Amino acid sequence: MKILFSLFISILILSSVNAQDVEVKNKFINHTEFGGLFGRVKYSNGSQQNTVDSRTSLTLQTFNGIQVSRKLGAGIILGADWYKSALINPVAAGIRYDLSGRPNARFFVIADAGYGFTWLHQDSDGYKTKGGWMINPGIGLRIGNVNTSSFTLSLTYKRQEVFAEKPLLWNQTERREERVYNRIAARIGISF
């Protein structure tokens, strides 16, 4: 994850050199996406044998902010991620940074970080689920004209932490779970 982050930061720094001359637009921008969170899980549950399963969850998010410069947009992200045992609502700060490219198809960098809340989550009896930190860096492709709305495809890495207290089994005095959802998020959306 650290490697990914340093890659992304270095791109950001290198690219910003080119961005000095652009005019600041300050216009409102929206970027709404939905897609899937894909991953795997390997677990043993205390036994000798490991089991591997695939995981897919639905994700939905909307980014609302302002265009700080011609290339950089900054805003707030609200979303909903339906993990099987937790419905998480991430609230995050994020940027969308356009990289150079053809006028009608440009790559852009996505970087979101925030906290996932469990406002809409309902616990099974005996469970107490709490949210945790979330980061979502990645890259996207914007297809469409600069000044009008565009269609986007994005691929990000999403890390979401969740904590859960679980009902006690026989002879247990404490039972809690720390979950880290590590997923690849593939999304499609629109941006204007």
CA-CA distances (angstroms) from residue 2 to 7, 56, 82, 151? Answer: 9, 24, 26, 30
How many chain residues are in contact with another protein, going by CB under 8 A?
53
Distance CA 70, CA 82 (A): 34
Question: Per-residue x/- marks for another protein, 97-136, CB under 8 A?
Answer: --xxx-----x----------------xxxx---------
CA pair distance 159, 111, nearest whole angstrom: 12
3-state secondary structure of 124: coil
Q: Which is nearer to another protein, 26 or 124 (CB)?
A: 124
Smallest distance from the beta carbon of 7 to another protein, in angstroms?
7
| Cβ closest to another protein, residue 26 vs residue 102 | 102
> x/- contact string, 11-30, with another protein (CB under 8 A)?
x-------------------
Candidate segments 35-43, 63-71, 73-81, 88-96, binder of another protein by CB under 8 A: 35-43
Least Cα distance to 135 among 119, 154, 155, 111 occurs for: 111
Note whether 170 binds another protein by CB under 8 A. yes
Is-contact 81 87, C-beta < 8 A?
yes
Q: Are 72 and 19 in contact (CB under 8 A)?
A: yes
Q: Give me the residues that bind another protein (CB under 8 A), please.
A: 1, 3-4, 7, 11, 38-46, 50-51, 53, 55, 83-85, 99-101, 107, 124-127, 138-139, 155, 157, 164, 166-184
